[in-house]
Amino acid sequence: MQSQSSADSSAESTPLLEVSGLVTQFETYRGTVEALDRVELDVGENEIVGIVGESGCGKSVTVRSILRLVREPGRIVDGEVNYGGRDLLDLSERKMRNEIRGNEIAMIFQNPTNALNPAYPVGEQIAEVAREIRDVPREQARELAIELMNDVGIPQAEERYENYPYEFSGGMKQRVLIAKSLACQPKLLIADEPTTALDKTTEAQLLDLIDEMREEYGLSVLIITHDLRVISRLCDRVVVMYAGQTVEVGSTREVITNPTHPYTKGLVEAIPRIGTDQTDLESIEGTVLDLVDPNDGCRFYDRCPLATDHCLDNRPELEEKRPDHYAACFEV
């Protein structure tokens, strides 16, 4: 599946990140949980791609698998994660730690309070990343940290360098995490639910900041969210996941205005619309499939209005339904 290029890159270019056939499982007392089932996605140069889906659909497991951060009882059992011409699944843990994580791919984790050390000033935490990963001298690292704090919109950055995390709001903590990630000068930034628990004004400011950082630093961004409004505001393309499978991929505008997969249609129809006579929100009936014992076919089978017996035992593959618009469904 070829990446849809962003405005500044060619559609024929090789994706910066290309994930294919990714399978991740977890061993539990109930049996093997098939958390990811042959996930497919890619991210182009200077492109923002969003992964969207319900809680438990495999979004966070996907990005943790990309960075090889899945811990026991989890394990990656199949697939390829090609980044810059290398399959990350073939690299040693030492190379992942020293060459990839932070240096090439940085990640903003979901909870900024837990991601920052409460015992150290925020400026020191940013500077430490530059010292440890990029081997920047102490004084230069301090200057870089202050510069990055300014870049991400933290007022009075030099004075606030010595402040502790508890002295920052949730939105400001997220800005600190972005600055901390940029201290490594990565090529790819992964953001896991970066707007969780933020008010709408702060959320909008943070999304604008990520877009500005993409332009200023030439970043590619992979963002995880359950909110299609975040996708529509920020992303060039969207990857829709359901129960560990990739079910639809395409440009954000095309997927939201003209969704193909029945699950994506359900997500779009559940969005509240201002200025309409809508009194009740649409919903997708049923619950997500138990991944300890999933069927052999489409995992959306039990909730799909178009499902046939064929869907139960046969797994639909991603196919191009319209130009650069892919879906995994037999019935569309």
Question: Looking at the predicted structure, is the pLDDT value of residue 6 above 80?
Answer: no
Predicted confidence at residue 7, as pLDDT, reads: 42
Do 331 and 53 form a contact (C-beta atoms < 8 A)?
no
Q: Which of 49-58, 79-88, 104-113, 242-251 has the lowest mean pLDDT?
A: 104-113
Predicted confidence at residue 125, as pLDDT, reads: 95
Do 40 and 21 form a contact (C-beta atoms < 8 A)?
yes
Predicted confidence at residue 306, as pLDDT, reads: 92
Mean of per-residue pLDDT scores for the chain:
90
Element (H, E) at 148: helix 138-151
3-state secondary structure of 317: coil
Do 75 and 24 form a contact (C-beta atoms < 8 A)?
yes
Predicted confidence at residue 5, as pLDDT, reads: 40
Q: Count of alpha carbons within 13 Å of 258, Cβ hemisphere only? A: 11
Q: How far apart are CA 75 and CA 222, in angstroms?
A: 22
Residues 181-211: pLDDT tens digits?
999 889 999 999 888 878 888 889 989 999 9
Predicted confidence at residue 1, as pLDDT, reads: 59
Predicted confidence at residue 51, as pLDDT, reads: 97
Q: What are φ and ψ of residue 168, in 5° steps? A: -115, 145
Q: How far apart are CA 291 and CA 269, in angstroms?
A: 25
3-state secondary structure of 109: coil
- Residue 242 is given by DSSP the state E
Q: Which domains does the chain have, with CATH numbers?
A: 1-46+61-103+238-332 (3.40.50.300), 105-185 (no CATH)
Do 126 and 180 form a contact (C-beta atoms < 8 A)?
yes
Q: How far apart are CA 196 and CA 283, in angstroms?
A: 22
- Give long-range contacts, CB 8 A cutoff, 24+ apart: 125-133: 125/176, 125/180, 126/176, 126/179, 126/180, 126/183, 127/183, 129/102, 129/180, 129/183, 129/184, 130/183, 130/184, 133/102, 133/103, 133/183, 133/184
Q: How far apart are CA 268 and CA 132, in angstroms?
A: 44
Residues 259-315: pLDDT tens digits?
999 999 999 988 876 666 666 667 788 888 889 988 889 999 999 999 999 999 999
Predicted confidence at residue 219, as pLDDT, reads: 94
For tokens 């090439």, the residue is: 104
In the chain, the percentage of residues whose pLDDT exceeds 70 is 94
Residue 104's alpha-carbon distances to 4, 187, 190, 201, in angstroms, are: 22, 5, 11, 31
Burial of 51 (0-12, 13-18, 19+ CB in 10 A): buried
What does the pLDDT average to over 100-113?
A: 88
